[in-house]
Amino acid sequence: MRRLVSHDPGFAAAFAAVVADRRESDADVTQVVAAIIADVRARGDAALAELTERFDRHKLADEAAWRIAPEACREAYDALEPGLRDALNLAAARIRAYHLDQLPAGRDHTDTAGVRLGARWLPVDAAGIYVPGGRAAYPSSLLMNAIPAKVAGVARLVAVTPTPGGTVNPLVLAAAYIAGVDEIWRLGGAQAIAALAYGTARIAPVDVITGPGNAYVAEAKRQVFGVVGIDMVAGPSEILVIADADNDPHWIAADLLSQAEHDPAAQAILITDDAAFADAVAAAVELELASLATEPAARASWDAHGIIITVAHLDEAPALANALAAEHVELAVADPDAVFAQIRHAGSVFLGRHSPEAIGDYVAGPNHVLPTGRRARFASGLSVPDFMKRTSFIAMSPKALAAIGPAAVALAKAEGLPAHARSVAVRL
């Protein structure tokens, strides 16, 4: 873990290096993924079977080995401990309610020139969602990806999830039942993304692919973008906590580790205006790490990428936060709204001392699939419109064409496109 102080002479250069640190896939990953995608495109199901046996130790011997039946999802849901089933249902209900408000409205109006203009929103025909199943399996991720797709009206929703050693996570199956997933294939890695994008004899292709994964999954989504739409190219998880000294250091330590435990490449950053509080949080992190079952990943993340920045005054924090453009930003301060007003770039912001980032991962409602790697400067979290497309429309009456057509003719001639000009002119 590094300690930076904003008024130290070398701070600007050190902070610039933090901002520039991508922590993402390298050239080797790019080449491996390209080879896997090419193999799946060339050999289809045979390539999927070989790669799944090699990487997941799961033999795709029959239909049950390839695909999880809907009945298995219902059985997993019914078998859940009641408290856990209630928790999944609560999460799903809150996620659905939040995303229903994101449904875009169409537009249809006639302007002052008599031209009818508008736009119509429709869902994509099919969407694919990737559900991790390696280091950890996340039913919450399935809900966050599947529910917006269903709210959008997607008719065919396909999930892919690796099942290492043939083991299926019952929570993932239960979440698939709640969300209404139509197909679940026991596939993971770059090969699963290739199958969704290009299709095979068994698996029909989709139009959009979303969902988090490791570096190989992220790189595969990058490489198939354009053939299909994707939510984003996601890198390792990030959390930035802006906190004053009036917080319990153990709360803040727990918040930092909530993202560090995801992956050794994850990053947790604290900005505070109190050096003694910074020391207390650093000590609390060590205590918290000792009790975590995920301590190996969390410690690797904290040791390699954890940072505590001490500033002279918290007024400095928003500018630093905007430069970092972090996936998650917690504002554990006395007046979080005042600080929030100055935050321009963040995937999701958590306001106040009782709003830990982890609540957003499960039951708050907003989507937890968020931009990483400073992409919050130009990208947003997953939403309903990511599973839809907008088609504009135009209707011209003779009077409307007479009003604006001559300008179109003039512009077409100026651009040296006489057929464009004539297409309009013959109607005038």
Give the residue numbers annotated as catalytic, written as ranges.
Answer: 327-328
**Could you tell me which residues come within 8 angstroms of residue 88 by beta carbon, excluding any fewer than 6 positions away?**
80, 139, 143, 171, 174, 175, 178
E strand or H helix that includes residue 201: none
**Could you tell me which residues come within 8 angstroms of residue 228 by beta carbon, excluding any fewer than 6 positions away?**
128, 196, 197, 205, 206, 207, 208, 209
State how far Cα 104 lies from the chain centre: 20
- Read off the DSSP letter of residue 228: B
> At CA 229, angle to CA 361 and CA 170, rounded to 5?
40
| Sign of the alpha-carbon torsion through 57, 205, 131, 142 | negative
Beta strands in 39-163 (DSSP E): 107-110, 116-123, 126-130, 156-160
Q: Distance (Å, rounded) from C-alpha 265 to C-alpha 142? A: 22
- Read off the DSSP letter of residue 246: T
DSSP helix/strand/coil, 103: coil
CB-CB neighbours of 109 under 10 Å? 8
Question: Does residue 104 come out as left (phi exceeding 0), alpha (psi in the -120 to 50 range) or beta?
Answer: beta
CB-CB neighbours of 120 under 10 Å? 13
From the list 305, 300, 417, 230, the residue with the least C-alpha distance to 23 is 305
Residue 394: phi and psi, rounded to 5, are -140, 135
Token representation of residue 169: 């996570």
Length of the chain counted residue by residue? 428
Q: Distance (Å, rounded) from C-alpha 108 to C-alpha 393? A: 9
Q: Distance (Å, rounded) from C-alpha 404 to C-alpha 410? A: 11
Token representation of residue 230: 């994707």
